[in-house]
């Protein structure tokens, strides 16, 4: 089900009502109905996916469906230090009704492809990490079947599970088994967050990955080189961040807190580097769970990481997609 954007979310401090260099997000963000057309291209669209069903099926801690609006409220307060020529819209939310996850993912895909068809950039806030599959559907519908697509995932988990029903742990298995033009790079994998069978599945599916203990300031150039190599193999890339990849001390409000997660500054450096690529299409952030958060620490972090992505996003070349 589609939910229109809520203007009451976008509130905050006002330093000036006329000087644009003093504006905050809440003074700049415009509301957009997914059924409307927009004339300008290269605008950001914040799309929420209010869904816990994938996490519930994966036997995790539910509550991430609250994140889209809570993260928006925190974004609203941040200074709008984005290119003043780039607009930002709130595109509303897709809601998962009852247990109809697959329907909700398909609807999210429609919303994303619609936004991309107008040559704009989707920023998706989940929801559980099942958000990624809806994100993928939207990108694939927009690109068509011919273009190759690389998916970069910053995550503690491979999400390659083989379950009888789709969940927040199956998305990459679903994609790689049906899409021969897709590839997978995972950054931040943790040894004790994945079974030996999942490591074996990653090898079978040709997944590239870097373990969490190899992502630090001393080895970041190796990660950048692998990202360059991976991104260079595909016509387009999309990026997804599971917040449980970050150390629980910095991100306690997630569905599966991680004691040995990545340092926040490493994640920020990875995000900045990946979204500066010429062939990047979109970004999603998932698994923020406000019901488990401590003093809004994780919500605030998610908001700031989204702002970092928007600040550094290179954007897609429409002519390279629609010829």
Return the DSSP state at 284. Answer: E
What is residue 318's predicted lDDT score, i.e. its pLDDT?
44
Residue extents of the structural domains in the chain: 2-321
State how far the Cα of 16 lies from the Cα of 30, in Å rounded to an integer: 18
Count the residues in the chain: 323
**Residue 238: strand pairing partners:** 151
Using alpha carbons, list the distances in angstroms from residue 154 to 85, 148, 288, 304. 29, 20, 14, 16
Ramachandran region of residue 298, left (φ > 0), alpha (ψ -120 to 50) or beta?
A: alpha
Residue 90: CB atoms within 10 Å: 25
What is residue 315's predicted lDDT score, i.e. its pLDDT?
65
Q: Which CATH number fits domain 2-321: 3.40.50.2300, 2.120.10.30, 3.40.800.10, 3.30.70.380?
A: 3.40.800.10
pLDDT surpassing 70 at residue 243: yes
Q: 78: pLDDT confidence band, cut at 50, 70 and 90?
A: very high
pLDDT in tens, 40-66: 778 999 999 999 999 999 999 999 999
Sequence-distant (6+) residues with CB within 8 A of 111 are 2, 34, 47, 91, 94, 138
Write down the pTM of the prediction: 0.95
* Residue among 305, 215, 309 nearest 254 (CA): 305
Residues 302-315 have a mean pLDDT of 94
pLDDT in tens, 143-197: 999 999 999 999 999 999 998 899 999 999 999 999 999 999 999 999 999 999 9
pLDDT in tens, 102-146: 999 999 999 999 999 988 999 999 999 999 999 999 999 999 999
pLDDT surpassing 70 at residue 319: no
**Residue 30: strand pairing partners:** 89
């Amino acid at each position: 089900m589609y939910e229109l954007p809520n203007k009451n979310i976008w509130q905050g401090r006002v330093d000036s009502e006329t000087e644009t260099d003093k504006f905050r997000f809440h003074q700049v963000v415009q509301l957009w109905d997914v059924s409307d057309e927009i004339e300008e291209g290269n605008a950001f669209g914040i799309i929420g996916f209010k869904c816990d069903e994938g996490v519930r099926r994966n036997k995790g801690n539910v509550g991430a469906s609250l994140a889209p609006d809570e993260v928006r409220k925190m974004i609203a307060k941040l200074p709008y230090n984005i290119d003043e020529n780039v607009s930002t819209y709130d595109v509303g939310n897709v809601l998962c009704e009852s247990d109809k996850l697959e329907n909700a993912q398909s609807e999210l895909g429609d919303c994303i492809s619609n936004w991309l068809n107008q040559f704009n950039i989707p920023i998706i806030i989940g929801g559980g990490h099942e958000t990624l599959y809806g994100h993928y559907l939207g990108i694939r519908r927009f690109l068509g079947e011919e273009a190759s697509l690389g998916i970069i995932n910053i995550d503690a988990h491979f999400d390659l599970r083989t379950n009888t029903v789709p969940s927040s742990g199956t998305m990459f298995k679903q994609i790689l088994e049906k899409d021969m033009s897709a590839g997978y790079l995972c950054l931040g994998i943790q040894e004790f967050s994945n079974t030996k069978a999942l490591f074996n599945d990653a090898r079978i599916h040709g997944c590239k990955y870097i373990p969490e203990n190899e992502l630090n300031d001393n080895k970041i150039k190796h990660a950048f080189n692998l990202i360059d190599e991976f991104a260079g193999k595909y016509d387009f890339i999309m990026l997804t961040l599971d917040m449980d990849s970050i150390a629980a001390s910095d991100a306690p409000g997630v569905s599966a807190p991680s004691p040995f997660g990545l340092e926040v500054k490493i994640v920020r450096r990875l995000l900045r580097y990946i979204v500066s690529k010429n062939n990047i299409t979109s970004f999603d952030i998932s698994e923020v769970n406000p019901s488990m958060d401590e003093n809004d620490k994780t919500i605030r972090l998610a908001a700031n990481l989204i702002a970092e992505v928007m600040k550094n996003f290179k954007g897609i070349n429409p002519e390279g997609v629609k010829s």
